[in-house]
């Protein structure tokens, strides 16, 4: 009798969405794209799965920046971080997680070129570059006039 090995694969793939709402007119602009889950982000997930001491905090901080260099798998920070906040809401629906972060127009008055999500107990909304970068992506939205409130959604599907 021949035994067959069944292989299971665990994949995380993600997409981001930026919803910009004009503070006066209510005009809504939506942009979407794929994100890059960087090497240290994959390691962070692994450490969380094995309950490694000190890795008891998941993804908690969203950051935006002004560097237009393409994200690469070895990134550990944004290119030029300009603002960060604690993630506003976290939800899970079966195998899909959504992290949403709201920035008021006054908190996001930049020509935004990049964004990322950080985790670990060292991720501090008040300390640029803190924590472990899990996901990094390019986004192009000029809010330097501060006329749009912004909501960033990161959606990871675990399959």
User: Taking the domains of the chain in order of start, what are their residue ranges?
Assistant: 13-158
Query: Between the CA atoms of 136, 142, 144 and 146, what dihedral angle is there, to the nearest 10 degrees?
Result: -100
Q: Give Cα separations from 106 to 89, 127, 146 (angstroms).
A: 20, 18, 6
Could you read off the pLDDT of 39-67 as tens digits, one per residue? 888 888 888 888 887 777 889 999 999 99
Enumerate residue ranges in the chain where pLDDT < 50: none
């Amino acid at each position: 009798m021949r035994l067959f090995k069944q292989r299971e694969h665990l994949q995380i793939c993600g997409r981001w969405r930026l919803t910009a709402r004009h503070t006066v007119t209510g005009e809504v602009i939506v942009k979407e794209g794929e994100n890059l889950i960087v090497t240290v982000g994959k390691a962070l997930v692994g450490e969380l799965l094995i309950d490694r001491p000190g890795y008891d905090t998941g993804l908690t901080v969203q950051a935006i920046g002004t560097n237009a260099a393409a994200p690469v798998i070895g990134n550990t920070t944004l290119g030029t971080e300009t603002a960060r906040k604690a993630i506003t809401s976290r939800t899970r629906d079966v195998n899909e997680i959504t992290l949403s972060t709201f920035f008021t127009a006054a908190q996001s008055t930049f020509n935004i070129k990049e964004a990322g999500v950080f985790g670990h107990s060292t991720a501090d909304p008040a300390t640029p570059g803190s924590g472990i970068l899990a996901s990094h992506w390019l986004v192009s939205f000029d809010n330097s006039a501060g006329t749009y409130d912004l909501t960033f959604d990161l959606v990871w599907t675990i399959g």
